[in-house]
Amino acid sequence: HSSFVLGFVVLAAYWVGGLIPFRFGYLQAERWTRGEQKHILWVTLLSLLALFVTPYGLRLAQYPVEVLLRQKATLVLTIEWLPLSFGASYARFDLFIVLVALLLFLISPVAIRLDVLLLLLFTTVESCLHVRFLLFFAIVFAPVFASLVNRWSPGDATVRNRPLLYASMIVVLAGGMLTLVPSRAKLHQIQARLYPVGAIQYLRSHPVPSRMFNDDVCGGSLLPAFPGHRVLIVGRFDIYEYGGVLVDYVNFINLRGDPAAFLDKYTLDSFLLRTTGSLGKYFA
C-alpha cells in the first residue's frame, strides 16, 4: 500500500527531533546518542530494502509518486482524498477533542518533543486536506491527549487504593463501545440502502448479458455475487484511470458530452441503473 511513505515521515520526524538539543518554552528536543543514531539509521536502511521484497520490485516504491503524477482524476473523485468537511459528525467530534486538548494544555501545559510536534502539525494539515489522513492523525494525537489528561488523574498511590473505581471506568468504556456496534438487522438495513441487494436477488433468477453498465458502488457487489460477470467499473478508481475509462465513466454518469458516443465505445449489453440521478432520468 502506498501509505508506507508515512512510515518514512515518522522516521524523518524522529531523526530531525534528535539532531540538536534545545528547550524553547514547552518545546524541547534531546540529541540522540551515537547508539540511537545508528539504530534509527539501520531501521531506515532496512525499511528501504524491504520495499524491494515484493513481487513488483521497485514498482511498489514508485507507486506513491505515480499516484500524484498520473492519477489526478482519482484524487479529485475519491471521497477519502477530498478535504475534511466539518459537516460530518465524526469531523465535529475530532474538532471537539482537539479543542479540549488545547484547553487542557493552556490550563496545565506539558513539555512536548519536537518530533511529536512535527508529526502533529503534519497530520493536522494533511487531515484537513485529505480526510483519509484522519486515521494517521488519531495514532499521533492519542498519546499526546493521554498525557494531557493524565495530569488531571490521581497519582499512582491513589490508583492502587482505588481498584474498583478504575474497574468501573473500564466497564463503562467497554459498555459504551458495545452500544456503538450495530446489530445484524441494522447492518442488513444499511447494506440494502447503500448496495443493490434487491437487484442482485432479481438477477439471480433473471440472468442478463454480462457486458453490463453499473456504477462504481454496484460493481463491487456484482463481482462476488456473480463470479465471471463482466462489470464496467468498481470502486478502485486508480486501475481505471490509465486507459481513460474513469474519465469516460464520470462524464457519462453526469451526462457531460455525448452519451451515445460512450455507448458506442463500450458496446454494453445491459444496464444496472439507480432510479435517482440524472442518468436514471436519461434512460427513463
Sign of the alpha-carbon torsion through 123, 127, 132, 134: positive
Is pLDDT of 11 > 90? yes
The two beta strands, 270-271 and 27-29, are unpaired
User: Can you tell me whether residue 34 is helix, strand or coil?
Assistant: helix
Alpha-carbon span 44 to 16, nearest angstrom: 13
The two beta strands, 270-271 and 212-213, are parallel
Confidence of residue 143 (pLDDT cuts 50, 70, 90): very high
Is pLDDT of 10 > 90? yes
Confidence of residue 142 (pLDDT cuts 50, 70, 90): very high
Alpha-carbon span 73 to 47, nearest angstrom: 31
Confidence of residue 154 (pLDDT cuts 50, 70, 90): low
Confidence of residue 155 (pLDDT cuts 50, 70, 90): low
| The three three-digit cell numbers of residue 269, written as one number | 449489453
pLDDT of residue 15: 93
- Cβ neighbours, 10 Å, residue 233: 22
For residues 223-231, average pLDDT: 84
| The three three-digit cell numbers of residue 109, written as one number | 501545559
Percent of the chain's residues with pLDDT above 70: 95
Task: Quickly list DSSP for 219-267.
Answer: HHHHHHHSTT--BS--S-THHHHTTTHHHHHHHHHTT-S-HHHHHHHHT
For residues 36-42, average pLDDT: 93
Helix axis angle, 34-50 relative to 5-17, nearest 10°? 170
For the chain, the distance separating the N- and C-terminal CA atoms, rounded to the nearest angstrom, is 41
Is pLDDT of 156 > 60? no
- Per residue, what are the HEC states of 74-123? HHHHCHHHCCCCCCCHHHHHHHHHHHHHHHHHHHCCCCEEHHHHHHHHHH
pLDDT of residue 136: 94
The mean predicted confidence, pLDDT, of the chain is 87
Alpha-carbon span 2 to 69, nearest angstrom: 14
Sign of the alpha-carbon torsion through 208, 211, 214, 220: positive
Residue-wise pLDDT tens digits, 46-84: 999 998 888 888 888 888 888 888 888 888 888 888 999
Is pLDDT of 166 > 90? no
